[in-house]
């Protein structure tokens, strides 16, 4: 017969393997000898809360008494045992006694027990775990033994003791005086003196010229005159040609040439192209109806710089035609104030 592991309800009661081995050997030797076994564990209830908790531990050296009674409550059998070093106790009853009406309870402290044996916890009823080959195994829920006072580290009760209820007494309301109260009237406020007149506001500065909604085309001579310098709104005369027209212009004209210097170019197809391209770019920012928009001017400039000298000259001539106001368009610039 093999050794069978045995667990009680909730894992609280268990039989040790050596005990089962001994029982099996005795059963093998004695044949069909009947026997009843009872086992359990005693714990120290350090917090005196009447239940198992994290603060409890198995208690050795505690006496446990099993008492059986008949239907009328008369004690028919009693047996006492002391817990071992693991807090466990074992009792053996030969034959097949009726243990269905038996209880186990802590009955006292034996040798080696500590101060936790001051008070015994409630008794627990024996429960039949299983029956096999004439042998019965009973388990008992954990027995508790309590100290005289709870330990200092135990949590206090979460339910506070209600204090005495004090009912406040309301003072009696004062009696209203008889008769109407006197009437008070405030004197009239004096009239405020009139405010002094505010000084006149300074005149607003003149507004910068707004973009033309009508067609306008101005040659490069207009854009180099000081009286029209206020129309350089988007572009700055000191802006670099390489920054405005891109890497191809930087390779052709260098990185130091400004737009103002580009307007002075003449006597060379590429200088003429730069002069008229810059003029066309200025016109595109100042007239919504100029034949080229700003992106178109930059695009045609780069196409001309990638092509031949003849192509650059043709593009310059087209810019000259647009800047001169082909189709009767005139320059609408007015001198800046």
CATH number of 87's domain: 2.60.40
Which tokens in the block code for residue 335?
């001198």
Question: Among 155, 57, 69, 141, which Cα is nearest to 105's?
Answer: 141
- Within 13 A of 279's CA, how many CA atoms are on the CB side? 31
pLDDT score for 184: 67
Question: Is residue 40 domain-resident?
Answer: yes
Range of the domain at 79: 35-146
Which of 84, 115, 146 is the C-terminal boundary of a domain? 146
Identify whether the C-beta of residue 293 lies closer than 8 Å to the C-beta of residue 284.
yes
Q: Cα–Cα distance between 184 and 161 in angstroms, integer?
A: 58
- The verdict on residue 290 lying in a domain is yes
> Number of folded domains in the chain?
2
Boundary-marking domain end, from 108, 126, 146:
146
Supply the DSSP string of 13-69, one letter for each residue: -B--HHHHHHHHHHHHHHSS--EEEEEEEEEE-TT-SSS--TT-EE-SSEEEEEEEE
**Final residue belonging to a domain, choices 94, 127, 146:** 146
pLDDT in tens, the chain (337 residues): 444 444 444 444 444 455 555 555 454 445 446 888 899 999 998 888 888 888 888 888 889 999 998 888 888 888 999 999 888 998 988 887 888 889 999 988 765 456 787 788 899 999 988 787 778 889 999 989 888 888 887 887 544 445 455 555 565 655 655 666 667 677 888 887 887 787 776 676 555 455 557 789 999 999 999 999 989 988 999 999 999 999 999 999 999 999 999 999 888 999 999 999 999 999 999 888 899 999 999 999 999 999 999 999 999 999 999 999 888 889 988 998 7
The residue among 51, 143, 41 whose CA lies nearest residue 85 is: 41
The confidence score (pLDDT) of residue 68 equals 92
Within-domain flag for 244: yes
In a domain, 8, yes or no: no
Q: What is the pLDDT of residue 187?
A: 80
**CA dist., res. 128 & res. 141, Å (int):** 12
pLDDT at 176: 57
In a domain, 156, yes or no: no
The model carries a pTM of 0.40
Distances (CA, A) of 162 to 101, 165, 167, 230: 42, 8, 15, 88
Determine, yes or no, domain membership for 88: yes
Task: Give pLDDT, residue 257.
Answer: 94
Query: In terms of domains, do 137 and 237 share one?
Result: no
Taking the C-alpha atoms of residue 136 and residue 133, their distance in angstroms, rounded to an integer, is 9
Say if residue 46 is in the same domain as residue 136. yes
What pLDDT was estimated at residue 13?
Answer: 42
Asked whether residue 115 is domain-assigned, the answer is yes
Residues 42, 135, single domain; the answer is: yes
In a domain, 291, yes or no: yes
Both tokens assigned to 42: 């005693």
- Residues 184-195 as b/e (b if ≥16 CB within 10 A, e otherwise) read eeeeeeeeeeee
b/e per residue 249-276 (b: at least 16 CB within 10 A): bbebbeeebbbbbbbebeeebbebbbbb
């Amino acid at each position: 017969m093999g050794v069978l592991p045995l667990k009680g309800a909730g894992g609280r009661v268990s039989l040790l393997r050596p005990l089962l081995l001994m029982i099996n050997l005795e059963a093998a030797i004695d044949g069909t000898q009947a026997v009843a076994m009872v086992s359990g564990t005693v714990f120290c209830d350090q917090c005196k809360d009447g239940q198992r908790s994290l603060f409890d531990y198995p208690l050795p050296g505690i006496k446990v008494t099993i008492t059986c009674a008949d239907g009328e409550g008369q004690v028919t059998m009693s047996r006492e045992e002391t817990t071992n070093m693991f807090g466990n106790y074992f009792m053996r009853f030969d034959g097949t006694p009726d243990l269905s009406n038996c209880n186990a309870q802590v009955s006292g402290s034996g040798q080696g027990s500590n101060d936790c044996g001051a008070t015994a916890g409630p008794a627990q009823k024996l429960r039949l775990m299983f029956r096999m080959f004439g042998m019965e195994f009973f388990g008992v829920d954990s027995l508790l033994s309590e100290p005289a006072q709870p330990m200092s580290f135990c949590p206090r009760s979460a339910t506070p003791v209600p204090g005495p209820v004090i009912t406040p007494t309301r003072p009696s309301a004062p009696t209203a005086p008889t008769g109407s109260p006197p009437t008070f009237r405030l004197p009239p406020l004096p009239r405020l003196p009139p405010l002094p007149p505010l000084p006149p506001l300074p005149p607003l500065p003149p507004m910068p010229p707004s973009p033309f909604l009508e067609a306008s085309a101005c040659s490069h001579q207009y854009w180099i005159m000081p009286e029209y310098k206020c129309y350089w709104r988007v572009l700055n005369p000191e802006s670099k040609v390489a920054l405005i027209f891109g890497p191809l212009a930087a390779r052709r004209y260098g990185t130091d040439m400004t737009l103002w210097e580009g307007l002075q170019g003449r006597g060379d197809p590429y200088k003429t192209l730069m002069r008229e391209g810059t003029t066309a770019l200025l016109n595109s920012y100042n007239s919504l109806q100029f034949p080229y928009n700003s992106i178109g001017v930059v695009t045609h400039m780069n196409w001309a710089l990638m092509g031949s000298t003849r192509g650059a000259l043709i593009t310059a001539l087209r810019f000259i035609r647009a800047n001169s106001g082909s189709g009767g368009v005139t320059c609408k610039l007015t001198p800046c104030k």
